[in-house]
């Protein structure tokens, strides 16, 4: 719950009110006035908002009344509204529309924000009040949501140094500042080195095998930089189709090595030393807080609960899927041999031969499917799925300001026609945007004095751009990615909680992927595809035979895909279960950690850790396993839809009521069992993947 801006304006000076970030937004739904905000507004706005926040904290601390849930826990929940308002555009744009100037501001801001957070979390008098309320929790007759807020508030202090000695608190302050700067630098380095590399091809014969629209995209890449020919870069929209289709093996290897050696070539963007520093700083913080490893610290607030349960999941899946992965590799090698390959299939060969084998076995490939997945129609299909399941309506609003011309903004309404959320969509790659796909929020949801303040949600992707001759046509993987991020968006948009810190996606990390991953299941359902998938030129609906082939090929190479995810989970856990400071070779550590899940030959010069932003610059440290954890949940949950009908309203309403609307108000297993009636089992996932 982060309002109070009218009251806060009384403490903001007249000069600073001119800063749009410090004003109450007079825009539709109080959306961010992007057109009015300039980079020079951010730093002074952050400083002023921090001053206001500290004044709010002092008011709580100096309250002469006995600490209560209302005057301490709720007051803390409500504090910092102005700071949230200032931070929302800044931190989102750092990912989706960054610049050298914004990154320089971030470097100045990082230690200031860390110190600000520490000054609150390490405030002894404030913690005394929180602790006083927490210790009487059994007598307070709190609702489940209130009890969760109280526990989270107490844990937020206890897990961030509040119980430390004065000397250790000072050490904690220093370590947390260092960690903040290190993770920021890691992410910036990845973006800069990714953008730095390109290769111009002037001989079209070297591009043999590439679909025409991919070549058009590469020609556009070159044209944008004033060059002739075709330009390769390291964005996924180039890398993925090139590795699948390019016949020139030397070029595939060159692109593969460029992609997998980012940030480990020496020079200013090399992340290997930073990785060791991040891992060791996290270990120091964990030790300071009484934990043997960083994973021990993190997993206390996860469904998995401890590292033993994480490794059990990873090892159980490894045992189940490795035989399938080995058989798949052998099949691809045999196929490559049949096509005249005189070499062992390497990582830069895998996608090429696997794609050709898939096409030969199932007569289906991206180029056959893309004409049916024109982006504008896919949007209608994905939005329409939410309409079928929950009655949601999406209305584009051109009057809501946006941070980039390519962004679209929608007002989302519920089945009663009431305003539910603002949704921003941003689909195509830019040099100013980090790789990958994600969902975030510009404003969270909360209820105050009976009024439901609705959220502002954003989903950001890096999908194939339109070319001079074709609209944006998505691959099947891009369709599923859209559904995945849209699932996160539904979690954020449909939430109905009292407290902002518990609403939407503010849930355990290994639960947050359930709403996203369950939505991927619709991607291959005929009834769903029939709603929108028509050929962009002819208007003909996608043939039933083609949908059948999609379904038949769903589990193609599923063993290798699973082992790839498991290898990332094992790598993450290796870095974060360290109990002694790391002093070895970063890449040797990586190779040993990932070895149990390796099927393809090792490429000793390539690596994952130096670009593994999920764990070294994002929120997935000691948590990458959560994708597989949530996959068990989503397979189990979707089995209810599969049984009762993929558009069954009763099942959809139950999923909304117990999962999408409840945020983190109760333990996720409690919420899941209310929907499912039982705890999840791994069997549904194994059955879906054809392993059992």
Q: Which residue has tokens 């001119």? A: 18
CA distance to 325, 388, 394, 457, 536, per residue, from 381 (Å)? 33, 10, 12, 19, 14
Burial class (CB in 10 A: 0-12, 13-18, 19+), 438: middle
What is the rounded distance in angstroms from the CA atom of residue 542 to the CA atom of residue 456?
34
What is the rounded distance in angstroms from the CA atom of residue 221 to the CA atom of residue 215?
10
First-to-last C-alpha distance (Å) of the chain: 47
Opening angle at CA 274, ends 459 and 588, nearest 5: 105
What is the rounded distance in angstroms from the CA atom of residue 371 to the CA atom of residue 375?
10
Q: What is the 3-state composition of the chain as percent helix, strand, coil, each rounded to the nearest 5?
A: 60, 5, 35
485 is catalytic: yes
CB-based burial, 280-317: b 16+ in 10 Å, e otherwise: bbbbbbbbbbebebbbbbbbeebbbeebebbbebbeeb
| Number of C-beta neighbours around residue 425 at 10 A | 24
What is the rounded distance in angstroms from the CA atom of residue 188 to the CA atom of residue 628?
28
- Enumerate residues 6+ apart whose C-beta is below 8 A from 554: 524
What is the rounded distance in angstroms from the CA atom of residue 279 to the CA atom of residue 275?
6
- Residues paired with residue 408 on neighbouring β-strands, in sequence order: 425
Nearest to 407 by CA among 391, 422, 387: 422
- The catalytically annotated residue of 485, 500, 531, 590 is 485
Burial class (CB in 10 A: 0-12, 13-18, 19+), 336: buried
User: What is the DSSP-derived secondary structure letter of residue 160?
Assistant: T
β-bridge pairing 419-426 and 456-460: parallel
- Residues paired with residue 424 on neighbouring β-strands, in sequence order: 409, 458
Is the Cβ–Cβ distance between 304 and 622 less than 8 Å?
no
Instruction: Kindly write down the DSSP assignment for every residue of 597-618, as one continuous string.
Output: G--SPP-TT--SGGG-HHHHTS
User: In whole angstroms, how large is the CA radius of gyration of the chain?
Assistant: 25
Burial class (CB in 10 A: 0-12, 13-18, 19+), 393: middle
Q: Which helix (H) or strand (E) holds 462?
A: none
Nearest to 261 by CA among 184, 199, 193: 193
User: What is the DSSP-derived secondary structure letter of residue 622?
Assistant: T
What is the rounded distance in angstroms from the CA atom of residue 336 to the CA atom of residue 343?
9
- Residues paired with residue 411 on neighbouring β-strands, in sequence order: 395, 422
User: What is the DSSP-derived secondary structure letter of residue 470?
Assistant: S
Is the Cβ–Cβ distance between 542 and 548 less than 8 Å?
no
Measure the CA dihedral 483/484/488/490, to 10°. Answer: 20
Measure the CA dihedral 297/586/267/612, to 10°. Answer: -50
Residues annotated as part of the active site: 485
């Amino acid at each position: 719950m982060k309002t109070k801006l009218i009251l806060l304006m009384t403490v903001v000076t007249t000069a600073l009110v001119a800063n749009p970030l410090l004003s109450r937004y007079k825009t539709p739904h109080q959306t961010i006035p992007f057109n009015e905000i300039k980079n020079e507004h951010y730093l002074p706005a952050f400083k002023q908002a921090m001053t206001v926040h500290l004044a709010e904290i002092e008011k709580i601390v100096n309250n002469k009344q006995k600490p209560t849930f209302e005057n301490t826990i709720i007051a803390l929940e409500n504090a910092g509204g102005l700071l949230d308002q200032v931070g929302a555009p800044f931190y989102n744009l750092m990912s989706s529309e960054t610049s050298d100037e914004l990154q320089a501001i971030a470097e100045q801001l990082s230690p200031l924000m860390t110190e600000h957070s520490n000054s609150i979390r390490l405030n002894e008098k404030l913690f005394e009040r929180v602790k006083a309320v927490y210790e009487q929790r059994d007598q307070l007759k709190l609702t489940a949501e209130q009890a969760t807020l109280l526990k989270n508030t107490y844990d937020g202090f206890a897990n961030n140094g509040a119980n430390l000695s004065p000397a250790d608190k000072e050490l904690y302050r220093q370590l947390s500042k260092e960690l903040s700067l290190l993770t920021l630098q890691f992410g910036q380095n990845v973006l800069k080195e990714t953008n730095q590399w390109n290769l111009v091809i002037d001989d079209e014969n070297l591009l043999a095998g590439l679909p025409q629209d991919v070549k058009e995209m590469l020609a556009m890449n070159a044209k944008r930089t004033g060059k002739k020919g075709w330009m390769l870069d390291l964005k996924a929209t180039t890398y993925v189709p090139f590795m699948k289709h390019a016949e020139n093996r030397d070029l595939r290897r060159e692109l593969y090595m460029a992609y997998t050696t980012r940030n480990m070539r020496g020079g200013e963007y090399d992340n290997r030393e930073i990785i060791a520093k991040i891992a060791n700083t996290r270990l120091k913080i964990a030790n300071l807080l009484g934990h043997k490893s960083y994973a021990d610290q993190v997993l206390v607030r996860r469904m998995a609960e401890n590292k033993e349960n994480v490794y059990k999941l990873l090892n159980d899946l490894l045992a189940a899927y490795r035989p399938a992965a080995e058989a798949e590799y052998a099949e691809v090698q045999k196929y490559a041999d049949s096509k005249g390959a005189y070499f062992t299939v390497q990582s830069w060969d895998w996608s090429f031969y696997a794609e050709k084998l898939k096409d030969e076995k199932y007569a289906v490939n991206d180029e056959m499917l893309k004409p049916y997945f024109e982006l504008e129609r896919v949007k209608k299909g994905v939005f329409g799925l939410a309409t079928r399941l929950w009655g949601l309506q999406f209305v584009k609003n051109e009057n809501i300001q946006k941070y980039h011309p390519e962004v679209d903004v929608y007002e989302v309404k519920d089945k009663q026609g009431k305003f539910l959320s603002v949704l921003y969509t941003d689909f195509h790659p830019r040099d100013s945007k980090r790789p990958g796909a994600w969902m975030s929020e510009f404003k969270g949801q909360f209820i105050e004095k009976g009024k439901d303040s609705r959220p502002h949600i954003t989903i950001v992707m890096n999908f194939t751009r339109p070319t001079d001759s074709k609209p944006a046509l998505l691959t099947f993987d891009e369709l599923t990615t859209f559904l995945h991020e849209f699932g996160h968006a539904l979690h954020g948009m449909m939430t109905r909680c009292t407290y902002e810190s518990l609403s939407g996606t503010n849930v355990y990390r290994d639960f947050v992927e359930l709403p996203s991953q369950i939505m991927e299941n619709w991607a291959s359902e005929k009834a769903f595809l029939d709603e929108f998938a028509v050929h962009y030129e002819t208007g003909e609906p996608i043939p039933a035979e083609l949908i059948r082939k999609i379904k038949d090929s769903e589990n193609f190479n599923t063993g290798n895909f699973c082992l790839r995810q498991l290898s990332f989970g094992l790598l993450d856990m290796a870095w974060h279960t360290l109990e002694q400071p790391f002093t070895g070779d970063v890449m040797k550590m990586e190779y040993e950690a990932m070895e149990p899940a390796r099927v393809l030959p090792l490429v000793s010069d390539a690596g994952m850790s130096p670009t593994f932003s999920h764990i070294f610059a994002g929120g997935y440290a000691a948590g990458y396993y959560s994708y597989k954890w949530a996959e068990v949940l989503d397979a189990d949950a979707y089995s209810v839809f599969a049984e009762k009908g993929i558009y069954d309203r009763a099942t959809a309403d139950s999923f909304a009521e117990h999962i999408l609307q409840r945020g983190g108000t109760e333990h996720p297993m409690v919420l899941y069992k209310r929907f499912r009636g039982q705890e999840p089992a791994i069997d549904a996932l194994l059955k879906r993947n054809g392993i059992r």
